[in-house]
Structure 1
Amino acid sequence: MKTAISIRDEIFEAAELSAKALGMSRSELYSTAVKEFVDRHSSRRITERLNEVYGNDDAASLLDDQLQALQFRTLSGEDRT
């Protein structure tokens, strides 16, 4: 898909140099950069959601108290801090 974007001149110039140094096209560089950005932020959303479920604050945890107790027992040898 073709798209048009606006970026600052210094970012464009740095991207041009990077693409050339890496032996890739401008399109490939931008596609790779956007994919990495999206992947990184997807991971953060997953981590945030897991923290909501398994958070350190027992009152804020979405886990049932009994289920949480069972999970902690299965981690008996691991550091829980």
Structure 2
Amino acid sequence: MSEYDFTLRFALPRNSDDAADCLDRLRAGGCDDATIGVAKKGCIALKFLRIASTPEEAVLGALAAVFKAIPGARLVEAETAARRFA
């Protein structure tokens, strides 16, 4: 197992609850290994340091946790230490 450092940025659904509720749901839903930022209304960024067997497993697991915690969230950007994917 290795640690993988990456950031995922999401647009929140229009009907999403307040940011505090989203943060609570993310932490409870398996994103407690992320630093969560809300800089712009309707958007959220999660900087993960996740332990997994592969980078793909780390990112896919994080995506699944976010989509489960915040149904309707839309991935806007994914970034690793080396690359940015928009």
- TM-score by structure 2 length? 0.21
Structure with bigger helix share is 1
Q: Whose relative contact order is higher, 1 or 2, with alpha carbons under 8 Å and at least 6 apart?
A: 2
Structure with bigger strand share is 2
